[in-house]
Structure 1
Amino acid sequence: MAGKLYIGRRFREVRESKMLTQAAFAERLGISLSYLNQIENNQRPVSASVLVLLAEKFQVDLSSLSLNDSDKVISMLAESLADPIFASYTPSIQELKLVVQNAPGFAQALLNAHQAYRRNSEQLASLDGQIANLAGEPTAYEEVRDFFHLVDNYVHELDTAAEALADRLNIPDSNATTALISYLESKHGVQIRHSGPNETSLRQFDRASRTLFLSQYLPTPTRTFQIALQIAALEQEDRIDQIADRATFRSVDARNVCAAGLRNYFAGALVLPYQRFLQSAQELRHDLELLATRFGASLEQVAHRLSTLQRQGSKGVPVFFARLDRAGNITKRHSAAKLQFARYGAACPLWNAHQAFEAPSQIIRQLAETPDGIRFLCIATELSKGRGGFGSPRPRYAIALGCEVSYAKDFVYADGLDLTSKGTYDPIGISCRICERTNCSQRAIPPLKSRLRIDRDRRDILPYQLPG
C-alpha cells in the first residue's frame, strides 16, 4: 500500500458501520476531528500509523482498502478524454492516477463538464427545437447510475438490515412469500389483496385501509419482490433518506430516483440475504437456474444480486451485469470486473448479449477478449416479461453476466470450454467509438482520434482503412 492513499469513502463506511460520530471515531483512533474530516473528504491522505490504528481498533483488513473507486473514475476519465475535443492532449495512466488521487473533486468536475458537453452536442445535432432548455445538467438516471457505480453497487446499511430481517424470518429455509406476507400483516397490519381486473399497476398500496393490492397475474418471484419492496417503503425510509441526502444529487428527481433504487436494493437483499446467497453461489458454482430455484427468485434477480456481493471482508466473485432490450439499449448495468460499459454509444455487436435474442430461454456462453488483452467468461440469456393472457404485451430483454477468466473455474458455465487457447476468445470491445481494433468487420463507426485512409482503388469490408 505504498504511496499516498486518499480513501475517504472507505473511512466513512467503517465509521458509519460502527454507528460512530466523527468525534467519537477520531477519539478512538487518537487523531484530531479536523484531520478525520479532511481524510473523509479526500483533502489529506491517510498515514501509515492511522491505517495501523484502524486495523487494530476496528478489525479492518487493510488489503480491503483498495482504490477501486479511483480505478473506476480513471476509466471514466480515460474514455471522456478520448473525445476529439481533447485531440491535442492524450494523458498517460499515471497522469490520470495523480489527478484522481490528489484532486478527486476536479476529476468529477471534468466528468460532469464532459457529460454536459455531450448532451448539448447531441441536442444541437438533433435540431429538436429545444435549444432554450439546454441546461447541461445530467439526467436523473445518469446521476443515479453513477452513484451506484461509485459505491460498487453495494449499500452496507440496507444490506445488513435486510439480512437481519431475513434471518428473523428464516429466509430462504422458509417460503419467502409466505414469510413476508405474514410479517407484513403482523408487523404493519397490512393485508394483501388482488388488484381489479382492469388495473395495470404491479403494486398499489392504500394507506388508509392498510391494503397492498398486487396483480393476480404476477409470477411468484415478482410477487415476492413487490411484497419485500413494500416492507422497504414502510421500514427503511429514514435510512434511505440519509443515504440519498449524503449523495448530494443535483436535482430532486435524481434524489427520488435514487430512493426508489435503494428500496429495490433492500427488497433484493431481503429475498436474497447476503451470506446465505454468497455461500449458495459458491456451492452451486454460480448456476443461475439452481440459485433461482433455491431462493424462489427470477434469473434476473439472481444475476443482479451477484453484482452486489461487494461487502468488505466477504466479497463474492467480481462480475459484470447488464440488461439489454432488443434495440441494444443497456437499461441496467454494473461492473465489479475490469470490463466497463460504454457511457456513450452502443455496446460491441460481437458481445454475446445480442445473440441471446436468437436463442430464447437458452444460456449462451462466450469467451471474449478486450483490446487490452483481458479475457472474460460471458453468459447471456433472453427473458420475457408478461402478466396477462393472449394478446398482452410481452417485453423481451437479455441479461448478461460475466467475470474475468481467472475466476472462470468458479462458474459451472466454464465447464468444457478451452480457457487456454487464444483462438477460442472472441475479440470484443467496449464500443466502436473507443475500440482500437482496426480489422473488425462489425465496426459501426470509426474510432475517435483515428485518421481515416480512403483508397479509391480498393474496397474492403469497411469503406475506409484505419492505421494499423
Structure 2
Amino acid sequence: MAPQKLYAGAKLRDIRGRLGITQKDFAAKLGVSLPYLNQMENNNRPVSTTVVLALAQEFGFDVTELGQGDSERLVSDMREALADPIFAEAAPQLADLRLTASNAPALARAFLTLHRAYSQTHERLASLDEALGREGAQLQPSPWEEVRDFFHYCDNYIDAVDRAAEHFAQLRTGESDIRQAAMGRLALSGITVRRAREAPLRAFDKERQELTLSSLAPPETQTFQLLVQVALLRQNQLLDATLDLARFHSDEARAIAKLGLANYFAGAAMMPYTAFLDAAQETRHDLELLAARFGASIEQVAHRLSTLQRPGAKGVPFFFVRVDQAGTITKRHSTTRLQFARFGGACPLWNVHRAFETPGRFLRQLAETPDGVRYISLAIDVSKTGGHFGAPRRRYAIALGCEVRHGAALVYADDLDFTRASAFEPIGISCRICERENCHQRSVPPLEKRLTIDPTRRDTLPYRLE
C-alpha cells in the first residue's frame, strides 16, 4: 500500500504565525521556494520530507503533530451535524468536508457552533410553553457541551496542569503515598479531613475548613477526591489562568471546566506522567497491573492512558469511552482516527455494549471502521455499587482501544490474528453517517444514500440503499 500523503496547510500557517516570520523567510528556513511553500500552505501540495526534517531541525517541532490535529474529528463532527434532515437536499460530499477541515478549520468550527445553536433553538421551540417562561434564553452552546468540546480539541491533554500534578507527586517527601501527600497539603492549609457513612463522595465546608469524604467509597475514589480538593485550593491560580485562555461563554461552563481541570489534576497526580508512561510501556498497558501499582481504579487507568499526549513523550494514541446501559456515551475521547458521535449512543456492534453481560471480564474485539482503519478494542463493565444493601447501582461500561499497528505494545493483543480479515468485526460511528449498506443493526438510513422501497421484498432492512 502506498504511503498516505500528508496535507497540513493549516498547521504550517499556524507554525509560521506563532514564529512571527514572513512566508518568504519561512520558505528560506525550510529550504523550499516561496511558491512551493504557498502551495503546501494551501494544501495544493503535500508536505515534503525535506520540510518535515527542516521543521524538526530548525525549529525543534514535534513532527508527529503534523499528522494529527483537528481535521479528522472536525470531519466527523460536521458529518454528524449534516445528518440533520434540514440538510437532506444539500449535504456536501465527504471530499468537500475534508477540504474545509484542512483549509478552513475556523469556518468548520463556526458551522458546528451555528448548527448547535439551531438544534438547541429547535428543541426549545418544541416545548414552547417552557421556553416562553424562561428568562434570558440565549443562542449559545450548553455549558456541558462547551466544556466537553474544550477537552476534546485539546486532545484531552492540558500541559500546564499535567506538569503541575507531576511536580506535586514528585515533591511528596516523607509521605509513603500520594494520599498521605494530599492529606499533608490540606493540613498545611488548616483543613481537617473526616469520613462519614452518609456523606457524599466529597463535601467541603469552607467556614469550618473541613473536608468530608464518604467512608463507603473505594480507597482509590477517596484518594482522587482528596486530590481534587488539593487542586481547587492550592492550584487555584493555575486553574483560573487556564480557564481565562479558554474564554467560555458562560459562568456555568467555566465552573464545570474548573472542576474538570481539578479532576484532571487528581488523575495526573495519582498517575504522574513520566512514571506512568514508563510503567505502561513496561507492563504493555496491562490495566490491572497499572491499577495495583498506582492505587487507581481500572476506569481511572484507562482514562489516564488516553491523555498521554505530551509533545516529545507521547504514549500510544488511544480512544476511551464510557457508556451507560442505554448506550448513551457519558465520557468520550479519542487521539486516534476513530471519532465518536457527539449525540446519542455508540455503534451497537461494538463490544462495549456486551460488557454488561459479563461483569468483571475483559472483552477483546478486532474491529474495522468504514474508512478501512482497523482497531483492537478492550471493554469491561465498571458498574459502581452504592456501598450498602439497597443502594442504587450505577451501571457503566468502558472501552479502550488503539489502531492495530500498535498491537505489539498491548498485552491484550497477544494471540489475536491481525492477518485474517474475517477476524475484524465491522463497526461504525452512528447510523446516520455510517456508509455500510448491509448492517443488520442499522436503525436509520445513512445521510448520503438514496433509498429504494420494494413492497414485494423484505430483507433485514425494509429498504435498499442505492
- TM bracket (short chain): 0.7 to 0.9
Q: Aligned ranges for residues 250-399 of structure 1 at < 5 Å?
A: 250-399=249-398
**Larger displacement relative to structure 2 (431-440 or 74-83):** 74-83
Give the Cα separation in 1 of the matches to 2:16 and 2:329. 33
Aligned mate of 2:9, from 4, 7, 32:
4
Instruction: Quote the Cα distance in structure 1 between the aligned partners of 2:51 and 2:246.
Output: 26
Distance 1:11 1:289 in 2: 44
| Percent of matched pairs sharing the same residue | 49
Distance of 1:4 and 1:384 partners within structure 2: 44
- Offset at residue 391 of structure 1 (A): 0.8
Distance, in Å, in 2 between the alignment partners of 1:390 and 1:63 is 51
Q: CA deviation at 1:175?
A: 2.4
d(CA) in 1 for partners of 2:370, 2:72: 18
Name the amino acid aligned to 2:260.
G
Q: Does structure 1 residue 113 correspond to structure 2 residue 114? A: yes
Contact 1:353 1:380 (C-alpha < 8 Å) held by counterparts: yes
**Deviation per residue, 1:291-312 (Å, 9 max, x gap):** 1001000011001001100100
Q: Within 1, Cα distance between the matches of 2:249 and 2:317?
A: 30
Amino acid at match of 1:407: H
TM-score (normalised: structure 1): 0.85
Task: Note the C-alpha offset of 1:71.
Answer: 3.3
Q: Distance in 1 between matches of 2:185 and 2:344?
A: 45
Matched, 1:202 2:201: yes
Over 3 Å counting, the alpha-carbon distance change for 1:2 and 1:170 in structure 2 is farther
Checking the alignment, whether the CA contact within 8 Å between 1:61 and 1:313 is kept in structure 2 is yes
Residue equivalent to 1:80: 81
3-state SS of paired residue (2:391):
coil
The residue number in structure 1 matching 2:37 is none
**1:146 correspondence with 2:149:** yes
**How is 1:27-42 mapped onto 2 (pairs within 5 angstroms)?**
none
After superposition, the CA RMSD in angstroms is 3.1
Partner of 1:130: 130
Deviation digits for residues 180-233 of structure 1, max 9, x if unmatched? 223332x323221123x443x211122333321111111100010011111101
* AA at the equivalent of 1:272: M
The one-letter amino acid of 1:166's match is: A
Q: How many aligned residue pairs are there?
A: 437
Pair 447,51 (structure 1): closer, same or farther in 2 beyond 3 Å: closer
Instruction: Report the CA distance between 1:423 and its aligned residue.
Output: 0.7
Shift of 1:237: 1.3
* 1:251-308 C-alpha deviation (Å, 9 max, x unpaired): 1111111111011001110001001111111111111111100100001100100110
Structure 1 range deviating more: 366-375 or 55-64? 55-64
Matches of 2:404 and 2:214 in 1, distance apart? 42
1:409–1:57: structure 2 CA closer, same or farther, 3 Å change rule? closer
Q: In structure 2, how many angstroms separate the alpha carbons of the residues matched to 1:398 and 1:237? A: 32
Partner of 2:3: none
Helix, strand or coil for the counterpart of 1:309? Answer: coil
Alpha-carbon deviation of 1:235? 1.4
Give the TM-score taking structure 2 as reference length: 0.85
Secondary structure of residue in 2 paired with 1:227? helix
Flag the 1:181–1:58 CA change in 2: closer, same or farther, 3 A.
Answer: farther
- CA–CA distance in structure 2, aligned partners of residues 255 and 384 of structure 1: 29
2:258 match: secondary structure: helix
- Tell me which residue corresponds to 2:447: 448
Structure 1 residues 390 and 316: CA distance shift in structure 2, 3 A? same
Deviation at 1:367, TM superposition (A): 0.6
Q: C-alpha separation between the residues in 2 aligned to 1:457 and 1:51?
A: 59
Which residue of 2 is the match for residue 160 of structure 1?
163
Cα distance 1:170–1:50, how it changes in 2: closer, same or farther (>3 A)?
A: farther
Distance 1:140 1:386 in 2: 29
TM superposition shift of 1:339: 0.8
Q: 1:6 to 1:410 in 2, by over 3 A?
A: closer
- DSSP-derived class of the 2:129 partner: coil
AA in 2 matched with 1:376: Y
CA contact (8 A) 1:99 1:107 kept: yes
Matches of 2:403 and 2:16, distance apart in 1: 28
Mapped to 2, the partners of 1:65 and 1:81 lie a distance apart of: 27
Quickly say closer, same or farther: Cα 1:205–1:57, change in 2 above 3 A.
farther
Verify the 8 A CA contact 2:370 2:428 in the aligned structure 1: yes
SS in 2 for 1:331: strand
* 1:276 counterpart letter in structure 2: A
- Distance in structure 2 (CA, Å) of the matches to 1:220 and 1:128: 47
Q: Give the whole-Å Cα distance in 2 for the aligned partners of 1:323 and 1:275.
A: 25
Contact persistence 1:7–1:67 (CA under 8 A): no
2:406 corresponds to which residue? Answer: 407
Deviations 1:139-159, CA, capped at 9 Å, x for gaps: 111111111111100000000
**Partners of 1:180 and 1:227 within 8 A in 2:** yes
Question: Could you list the runs of 5+ residues in structure 2 that have no partner in the other structure?
Answer: 1-5, 26-40
Relative to structure 1, the CA distance from residue 61 to residue 128 in structure 2 (aligned partners, 3 Å threshold; closer, same or farther) is same
Instruction: Find the residue that maps to 1:165 and give its secondary structure.
Output: helix
